[in-house]
Amino acid sequence: MTVMEMSGERLRERLDLYERLMRLDKPIGILLLLWPTLWALWLSALGRPDWLVVGIFVLGTVLMRSAGCVINDLADRSFDPHVARTRNRPLAAGRVSVREALLLFAALVVCAVLVVLPLRSWLLGGLCVAALFLAVSYPFTKRFLAVPQAYLGVAFGFGIPMAYAAQLGSVPAEAWCLLLANVFWAIAYDTEYAMVDRADDLKLGIRTSAITFGRAEVAAVMLCYALALALVGMVGRDLGLGAFFYGGLVVAAGIAGYHYTLIRERDPARCFQAFRHNNWLGASVFAGIALDFLFSRGISA
């Protein structure tokens, strides 16, 4: 093997590790950020979003989710080696250095800033700073918050007020109602996720909703699903949305009901399946919104 071939192989190895550090091989996190952002983009524009704004937000979601994964693994690098599901992550396994991870995080944040610059909005800029603070601080909330999933819901849903700011130049009450809906949704799906690691988290002293809710965690998950869908329904009602929108919510409610059948026995593998399946819940809500504007109102009207 030549020196150039060896260098190329080493580069591919590093890029693969960085990809795993950013969780690009596990896109569920990106999708859970993207769906509420798309809800907001369509609702704020009444079904006619600016496609440049949509493209910027999709790319920005990928970049900030990737940056969030890097900073999360940096914060948890002393815990992850002791958790079965995370011990082989690049930082936990010692295959990526702290310096490399910090440089990667900085590069991703710089790219995210460059992506939103064309929108030229001071309000959006301020919200971007807040979003960055939320992304950086969330991993540390597991040390002191009883339900850090609520904080995650704000962080994961902050694309909602940003979407309204980008398209309307303001953030009306409906945006904050959608953000609250996302908080409840995040508590639901991340409690399912936390149920997978409950035994390890108890040993490490990490706080999660699955531990805080105790044996009521299944009921709490279902209640949070109900509150999330009810709040989204309130926004749609106030905007005068119709059958397609409510049909999407019914499908989403059916998916939440299916999750109950997965988590009621508290089997870790089935809880993780339920967590991953939330992609379809978010997609159902978006499909209802998009189809309602498309067919009930007529996108070309």
Cα–Cα nearest to 214, from 268, 147, 157:
147
C-alpha span between 122 and 104 (Å, rounded): 26
**20 HSE (CA, 13 A, CB side):** 16
Q: Which residue ranges make up each domain of the chain?
A: 13-298
Which token pair is 216?
């009521």
Residue 97: partners with Cβ closer than 8 Å, 6 or more residues away: none
Q: What pLDDT tens digit does each residue of the chain (301 aa) get?
A: 565 554 666 778 888 999 999 998 889 999 999 999 999 999 999 999 999 999 999 999 999 999 999 999 998 888 888 777 788 888 888 888 999 999 999 999 999 999 999 988 899 999 999 999 999 999 888 878 889 899 999 999 999 999 999 999 999 999 999 999 999 999 999 999 999 988 877 777 788 888 889 899 999 999 999 999 999 999 999 999 999 999 999 999 999 999 999 999 999 999 999 999 999 999 999 999 999 999 976 544 4
Residue 15: partners with Cβ closer than 8 Å, 6 or more residues away: none
Which token pair is 142?
């597991």
Is-contact 150 183, C-beta < 8 A?
yes
Q: Which CATH superfamily is domain 13-298 in?
A: UbiA prenyltransferase (1.10.357.140)
If you write DSSP's letter for every residue of the chain in order, what string do you get? --HHHHHHHHHHHHHHHHHHHTTTT-THHHHHHHHHHHHHHHHHTTT---HHHHHHHHHHHHHHHHHHHHHHHHHTTTTGGGSTTTTTSTTTTTSS-HHHHHHHHHHHHHHHHHHHGGG--HHHHHHHHHHHHHHHHGGGGGGT-S-HHHHHHHHHHTHHHHHHHHHHSS--HHHHHHHHHHHHHHHHHHHHHHHHSHHHHHHHT---HHHHSGGGHHHHHHHHHHHHHHHHHHHHHHTT--HHHHHHHHHHHHHHHHHHHHHTT--HHHHHHHHHHHHHHHHHHHHHHHHIIIIIIITT-
**92 HSE (CA, 13 A, CB side):** 19
Which token pair is 96?
């990526």
**Range 101-125 burial, b when 16+ CB lie within 10 A, else e:** beebbeebbebbeebbeebeeebbb
Is-contact 41 172, C-beta < 8 A?
no
C-alpha span between 45 and 164 (Å, rounded): 8
Q: What is the pTM of this model?
A: 0.92
Q: What pLDDT score was predicted for residue 200?
A: 78
Cα–Cα nearest to 146, from 193, 203, 187:
187
